[in-house]
């Protein structure tokens, strides 16, 4: 629809050949194609067929970008509680960049070492919208939500074990955030957070 918005395919649960075919077809009408949740084996097959597709292994994304470079719109900040949350955070960051936003990153500032976050609070205040990615206790969005007055998008991750129940624990934490103004997306859904953040960041443009 909108300029800057890539065609998006959910790679998980599809055959590599099927994905390669879909990407080829989409590339005829769109100068940007994004495939999410792609493992190395699928990436190898698609990239062989389409050599200008790039695989980002950390966020497990396949990116085709034939668009002309334009100036990106600043305003999105992606924050993580731990280093293990980085794959989801990068899924969000790369998706948002592909939608013509420039993205700041602030990683590994979880609440168990609150000084790490407080030492960079000025960076929080520069953002127009903040994506907060956290697993385990999922407590970070509540703290950040209280420090800023811009929209906060909370992304629970499946990082953790036992009673994290694959991300259920941080999901519930975030839905019950004692800081108002927090919107929550699905567990590990960096992609969805980025689309929402981009809509907010480009709102009124």
- Name the site residues for Mg ion (rule: CB under 5 A): 82, 108
Question: Distance between terminal CA atoms of the chain?
Answer: 15
- Cβ atoms of 56 and 83 within 8 Å: the answer is no
Is residue 192 at the binding interface for ligand AMP, with CB under 6 A as the rule? Answer: yes
- Cβ atoms of 135 and 85 within 8 Å: the answer is yes
- Cβ atoms of 191 and 78 within 8 Å: the answer is no
What binding mask, one character per residue, do residues 99-138 give for a second copy by CB under 8 A, x or -? -----------xxxxx---x---------xx------xxx
Q: Which residues pair with 104 in a beta bridge?
A: 77
Instruction: Say which DSSP state 7 is in.
Output: E
Is residue 37 at the binding interface for ligand AMP, with CB under 6 A as the rule? Answer: yes
Q: Which of 80, 101, 157, 189 binds ligand AMP (CB under 6 A)?
A: 189
57 binds, among ligand AMP, a second copy, Mg ion, none (CB under 5 to 8 A by kind): none
Nearer to a second copy, 27 or 84 (CB): 84
Nearer to Mg ion, 80 or 95 (CB): 80
Is residue 83 at the binding interface for ligand AMP, with CB under 6 A as the rule? Answer: yes
Q: How far is CA 16 from the centre of its chain?
A: 23
For the bound state, the minimum distance from the C-beta of residue 116 to a second copy, rounded and expressed in Å, comes to 10
Buried b (16+ CB within 10 A) or exposed e, 116-142: ebeeeeebbeebbbbbbbbbbbbbbbb
36 binds, among a second copy, ligand AMP, Mg ion, none (CB under 5 to 8 A by kind): ligand AMP
Q: Which residues bind ligand AMP (CB under 6 A)?
A: 8-10, 36-37, 82-84, 180, 189, 191-192
């Amino acid at each position: 629809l909108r300029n800057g918005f890539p065609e998006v395919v959910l790679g998980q649960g599809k055959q590599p050949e099927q994905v390669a075919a879909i990407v080829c077809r989409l590339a005829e009408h769109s100068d940007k194609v994004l495939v999410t949740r792609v493992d190395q084996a699928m990436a190898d097959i698609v990239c062989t067929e389409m050599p200008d597709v790039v695989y980002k292994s950390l966020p497990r994304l396949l990116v085709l970008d034939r668009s002309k470079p334009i100036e990106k719109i600043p305003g999105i900040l992606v924050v993580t509680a731990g280093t293990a949350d980085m794959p989801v955070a990068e899924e969000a960051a790369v998706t948002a960049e592909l939608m013509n936003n420039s993205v700041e990153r602030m990683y590994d500032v979880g609440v168990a070492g609150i000084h790490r976050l407080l030492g960079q609070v000025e960076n929080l205040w520069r953002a127009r919208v903040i994506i907060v990615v956290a697993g385990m206790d999922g407590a970070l969005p509540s703290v950040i939500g209280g420090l800023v007055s811009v929209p906060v998008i909370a992304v629970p991750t499946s990082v953790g074990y036992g009673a994290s129940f694959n991300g259920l624990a941080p999901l519930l934490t975030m839905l019950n955030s004692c800081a108002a103004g927090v919107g929550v997306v699905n567990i590990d859904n960096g992609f969805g957070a980025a689309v929402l953040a981009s809509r907010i960041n480009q709102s009124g443009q």
